[in-house]
Amino acid sequence: MSNDSNMIEADDVRLTYADGTEAVRGVNLTVPKGEFFGFLGPNGAGKTTTIKTLTTLLRPTSGTVRINGFDTDEDSRAVRQSIGYMAQETSVDPHLTARENIRFACEAYGVPRDERTNRVNELLELVDLADVADKRSERFSGGMKKRLDVATALVHRPQLVFLDEPTTGLDPKARLNLWEYFRKINRQGTTVFLTTQYLEEADELCDRLSVIQGGKIVATDSPQALKSRVGGDVLDITIEESNDEERARARRVVIESGLFADATIETTADGISLTAKNARRNGTDLLLALRNDDFTVVGFDVRSPTLDDVFLAITGEHVDEVTTGTDTDGASAAPEVSP
């Protein structure tokens, strides 16, 4: 039975493609109304297919999905009226102005004619494009186009917005600006469902998040609670002349030192990384042990675990983060236009 306080309810959702590939294998997911929820997983884990079942783009092979109380199979129209969707690729028309793009979205979503002008102005203010409202969007930077995309996804006042890797390709400043708009719509009551390859983004924005691997959700909790599963702090050590032989020897020094009883030790490109509850307390002693074994340590850092460490602990693999500062079409972002 549906719970009125939940925006998303997915029960044992499975999807098998025609070639026999089981893309989603029994996903159970509940997202309360008003939550900022993150959905993370390695490439090929089933993220995209799961999202398509939530947004009515794909029909599950079995299981049920309810969005805002509506069954995606039985009442897909009501579901689509309840959601906004911002894809990774921007959908703005470069030949239209910002105002015209939003007005066109109002028409497409059936916003009443007498409400459109106020709604367009309201959204231009929300995403900080009022000063360039009548500029053609082909002149906009990547960040401005993304903000305009946010506005077009919100024209019908959806109660739930899906953001599919929304900041991929943006420079750090544009990403931070977009984060603030996402926070703003969430504070206004909109439930947000975010997929991202930027683990920092999920950590910064999400109340809770789920990790999916192999078509199954393997963990769901707050970012802080998930990080606590790593089992301690992380000690990253960089050694001079790092090669396979030297990294293996450094790993043996850690084990033979007896300083870290339950440590997880991983070799890295330039040294070793270990996770242990007493990493901070015994880190200096390990540094001395390495030096006594003729290692030259050129980097030594003790830090709290990140969500990438969580992925490694839960799934056994890292998530590849996108680090380019280019626009989503691969071209460098254009400069901001003057109002």
pLDDT in tens, 228-273: 888 789 999 999 988 999 999 999 999 999 999 888 898 999 999 9
Q: Are strands 62-67 and 70-71 parallel, antiparallel or unpaired?
A: antiparallel
pLDDT of residue 170: 81
Q: With bands split at pLDDT 50, 70 and 90, how would you rate the model's confidence at 319?
A: low
Alpha carbon of residue 311 to chain centroid: 13
pLDDT of residue 2: 61
Lowest average pLDDT, out of 107-111, 210-214, 321-325, goes to 321-325
pLDDT of residue 35: 98
Q: With bands split at pLDDT 50, 70 and 90, how would you rate the model's confidence at 333?
A: very low
Q: Which tops the pLDDT comparison, 61 or 126?
A: 61
pLDDT of residue 16: 96
Would you call 104 exposed, middle or buried from its count of C-beta atoms within 10 A (0-12, 13-18, 19+)?
middle
Order the strands of the 6-16 sheet from edge to edge.
22-32, 6-16, 62-67, 70-71
In this predicted structure, the answer to whether residue 332 has a pLDDT above a threshold of 80 is no
Cα distance between residue 19 and residue 68, in whole Å: 32
Q: What is the pLDDT of residues 17-32, one digit of tens each?
A: 999 999 999 999 999 9
Q: What is the pLDDT of residues 112-142, one digit of tens each?
A: 999 999 999 999 998 999 999 999 999 999 8
Q: How many CB atoms lie within 10 A of CB 146?
A: 26
Q: Where are the domains of the chain?
A: 6-227, 231-304
Q: Using alpha carbons, select from 97, 101, 135, 138 the residue that is nearest to residue 116.
A: 101
Options 3.10.20.30, 3.40.50.460, 3.30.70.260, 1.20.1070.10; CATH for 231-304 is 3.30.70.260
pLDDT of residue 320: 54
Cα pseudo-dihedral 332, 335, 336, 339, rounded to 10:
-140
Would you call 311 exposed, middle or buried from its count of C-beta atoms within 10 A (0-12, 13-18, 19+)?
buried
Q: How many CB atoms lie within 10 A of CB 2?
A: 12
Q: What is the pLDDT of residues 142-196, one digit of tens each?
A: 899 999 999 999 999 999 999 988 888 788 888 888 899 899 999 999 999 999 8
Q: Which two tokens stand for residue 180?
A: 């603030």
Q: What is the pLDDT of residues 72-101, one digit of tens each?
A: 999 999 999 999 998 878 889 999 999 999
In this predicted structure, the answer to whether residue 326 has a pLDDT above a threshold of 50 is no
31 vs 56, 151, 188, 228, CA distance in Å?
Answer: 17, 23, 17, 22
Cα distance between residue 154 and residue 31, in whole Å: 19
Question: For 8-17, what is the mean pLDDT?
Answer: 97
pTM (2 d.p.): 0.79
In this predicted structure, the answer to whether residue 331 has a pLDDT above a threshold of 50 is no
Cα distance between residue 50 and residue 195, in whole Å: 11
Q: What is the pLDDT of residues 30-46, one digit of tens each?
A: 999 999 999 988 778 88
Q: Using alpha carbons, select from 253, 256, 336, 328 the residue that is nearest to residue 297.
A: 253
pLDDT of residue 318: 63
Fold of 6-227: Rossmann fold (3.40.50)
Cα distance between residue 77 and residue 71, in whole Å: 10
- Angle at Cα 161 formed by Cα 160 and Cα 164, nearest 5°? 145
pLDDT of residue 160: 97
In this predicted structure, the answer to whether residue 289 has a pLDDT above a threshold of 50 is yes
